[in-house]
């Protein structure tokens, strides 16, 4: 039997698990949007790397950190990871070879994850 303290912690962890689920779904949606962007860039022969866009995204994250009391360094590091993966995915889409399409399919669309959380 759980104590009141353990029940309180369990409730908070359940809430955190729901937030994590939303975060993961949002990251997946972002990558799916990047696939569409990669297809558009391929169709119109637009280079994958768009430094001005990367700067805009990083500056927006820094403003968000300032306005919401978050660490700029944390958001910069987080977006460096997100942007790195985005560039990898767009590069695969733009390359358009069969092997690269299979790579993106298996890395992004892979098996569905189980519901549940961490912590």
Distance CA 104, CA 113 (A): 17
Residue 97 within a domain: no
Let me know if residue 104 belongs to a domain: no
Number of folded domains that form the chain: 1
Q: Is residue 72 part of a domain?
A: yes
pTM, rounded to two decimals: 0.78
Q: What is the mean pLDDT of residues 36-63?
A: 96
CATH of the domain at 68: 1.20.59.10
In a domain, 39, yes or no: yes
Average of per-residue pLDDT across 38-64:
96
The parent domain of residue 58 ranges over 4-92
Cα separation, 38 vs 30, in Å, equals 12
DSSP assignments along 21-61, one per residue? HHHHHHHHHHHHHHHHHHHHHHHTT--S--HHHHHHHHHHH
Q: Which residues of 20-49 are buried (b: 16+ CB within 10 A; e: fewer)?
A: eeeeeeeeeeebeebbebbeebeeeeeebe
Identify whether 118 is part of a domain: no
pLDDT at 115: 52
| Intra-chain end-to-end CA distance of the chain, in Å | 20
Q: pLDDT: is 22 or 117 the higher one?
A: 22
Check: CB of residue 95 under 8 Å from CB of residue 39. Answer: no
Q: Does residue 115 fall inside a structural domain? A: no
Convert the pLDDT of each residue in 5-30 to its tens digit: 999 999 999 999 999 999 999 999 99
Closest CA to 91 of 24, 26, 46: 46
Residue 118 or residue 83, greater confidence: 83
Helix (H, G, I), strand (E, B) or coil at 115: coil
């Amino acid at each position: 039997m759980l104590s009141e303290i353990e029940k309180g912690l369990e409730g908070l962890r359940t809430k955190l698990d729901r937030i994590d689920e939303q975060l993961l779904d949002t990251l997946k949606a972002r990558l799916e949007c990047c696939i569409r962007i990669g297809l558009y860039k391929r169709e119109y022969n637009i280079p994958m790397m768009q430094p001005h866009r990367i700067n805009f995204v990083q500056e927006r994250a820094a403003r968000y950190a300032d306005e919401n009391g978050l660490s700029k360094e944390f958001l910069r590091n987080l977006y460096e990871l997100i942007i790195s993966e985005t560039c990898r995915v767009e590069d695969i889409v733009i390359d358009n070879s069969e092997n690269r399409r299979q790579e993106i399919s298996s890395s992004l669309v892979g098996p569905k994850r189980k519901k549940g959380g961490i912590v």
